[in-house]
A and B are shown apart, each in its own frame.
Chain A
Amino acid sequence: MAITAGKFDSLELRDVGRSFGGHEALVGLDLTVRAGEFIALLGPSGCGKSTALNCLAGLLPLTHGQILLDGQRVDTLPSEKRGFGMVFQSYALFPHLTVEKNVAFGLQMRGLPRAEITQRVREAISLVKLEEHAKKLPGQLSGGQQQRVAIARAVVLEPSLVLMDEPLSNLDAKLRLDMRTEIRRLHQSLGLTTIYVTHDQEEALSLADRLVVLREGRVQQIGTPDELYDHPRNWHVADFMGYRNILPGTALDAANGTAGTERTRVQVGSMTLTGRPVGDVGGSSEVRVAVRPDDLVVLADGDAPQDGNAVTGTVAVVEYHGREFAVVVQTSDGTLLHVRTPSAPEVGDVVTLTAAGERVLVFPADLAGRPAATAPAEAVAV
């Protein structure tokens, strides 16, 4: 490959923050990115992920903190001098320039000789497989094709860092899956370092080496996909990682000493459950219980419930999902539980659900405090 990413050792974000008009869009982001990593910034709308990306790009100024590339501050440089590539959500292709000229733009800004520009443009275009469309205008291309042009335009500059702002959100579902693979392939084959913003946890999990989960401007957790998947630090992260059942409840065990213990009991509505505590729960404090749909098992007659967890309810909705069924069970006090099961009960059936205590996570309801410090992900960040 003639196109290779610019080399650097590390990119460090130190206490990066941005507030304006009294509103804190981003607070206290500490992150060190190593060359070649694929980092996903994940969170709901307004969580600050796009703000973080735009601050990295230089399109928004920081109000707090520093950004250092190999120890040199870059946050004082304007965007056009940082040498980062960026792919925008709306692609932002120059509508009056052909595909070729769009891709060539950045190289022309650098003042490279024409022959070199032509060659590099040709390589970039064939990299994204758009050779036949090279002379077309963006208006003549489909969404997926436009997005590939946007990617080519960013990588042709061989940037040290590529920033992507929800590049797939405007595409239809099937195209999104295809492009996801493309992006990962390009990242690996070119040896890029990518920072990718999305609100889709499935996308983040499949693409990223590490994820940064944000909420209301603050980092909730930084870690690898399986760390976040198996050990979410608070119930917000759990919610984002597919723990679809988040149930409010009250702790039943004594106040001290639940942190670090294996099991604790909670009262959720009319049910008493045994789960694994994450953080400090106890002494009648309010908690949230998080369970994945796949961890809820429909008890067959005669089987014993796991860890004493048994919940009875009526089947309300059954959805066919290929190999599995997504079932919604309503308990006697009205709580809706989402279950994934290989065999479908009928709507109206009364079933009993159980779950291993290990997979029933109990979090403090209050998110304002620091997330639990026990998760192993802590060691990797900063």
Chain B
Amino acid sequence: MASNKLMVGLEIGTSKICVVVGEGRPDGTIKILGVGQAPSRGVRKGEIVDFETAMKCVHEAVVDAEQKSDVMIRSVYVAVAGSHLQSFNNRGCVMLPEDRDEIDERDVEDVKINAREVSIPAQNAFLHSIIQHYHVEGQDGVLNPIGMLGQKVEADFHIIHGVRTRIQNSIRCVKELPLDVEDVVFGGLASAQVVLTQHQKDLGALVIDIGGGTTDYVLYSDGVVKQSGCLALGGDHITNDISMGLRIPMARAEKLKIEEGSCILGNSLPGEMILLKDESGFAGKEIEREMLNTIIHLRVREGLELLKRGLDEEPYLTYLGAGIFITGGCSLLNGIDHLAEEIFEIPAHLAHAQTTWGVTSAVEDPQFSTAIGLVRFAQVMQTDRPRRGFRETIGKLFRMR
């Protein structure tokens, strides 16, 4: 029974590793059975830099999840991120043979393959090719052409690709544990699955998932993915800035950011100070609140402006009916939605996973958006196709060139 099957999402994040165990319900919702997490080490900017250490952390998180949810985890969906991920839109075209004018599955498969026949760098592999719309004989916006009549089928795809070896690093890390990898999914895409409802996707929405090491974004318009990408910029950068600017250790900077930080300027009293208590190895210190906020503000503003410049290359940003949805650990930063609203001039909301239920604390925490999104993604995949092994996944990475 595919829909009641256990699905596990694993996100190897820069600051922590999240494992979410979920169960698909026949009504299409997901019940979260348990979550496991472990602080992440050996990961920088969404990519593994220390294989052994990262593997231990993943193991820790998986064990944690197994205990919490009381299940055995055998296979997982893995999220990937990193600056190497790129995306573009492409259109494929197929002509039907003269003696046939009804479009069937083969033609749709053909057009998908055709759309992928674009040159991406030799070392890159396709991660996703997401159908946007079909065009049949010049008729735009066809959602499903199977059964329609026509000689010419075209399909618009949004294609996400990345450096093959870097994607394989994540897979290998999980495979060594040993766990099976069901599929690899772009983290931002996974988050968007649970943060947005179908209605919001139709209206047009931008999901910004700001994590520890990367900022993933996915833009939906007309219900389909139009733009996506990954900036290697995240909460770690804010912490690093604070640590350097105020000259305090990273750990203190991280704590200060979470407890006191805000990216809104002018909200503090003039000369308002924050007292850092002394503890072993760290002499106490007073920090000016406005200074802390200035450092955070500059960094967050820069990141968002960079994002906006990237998105402005195509016109979709003006047609976002539903607005911006910010998720990921950094969305907990005080005032980030207001800043985003100011920069993009579009309403911005803080968002966490929707349409799921179960462990409430996990569902409502934006840090789990990606991992829960993976479960959702798994659910969708499994209703589409009954099962796909790891072998195929790996095979996909090679074949899809």
Mutual binders A and B:
no
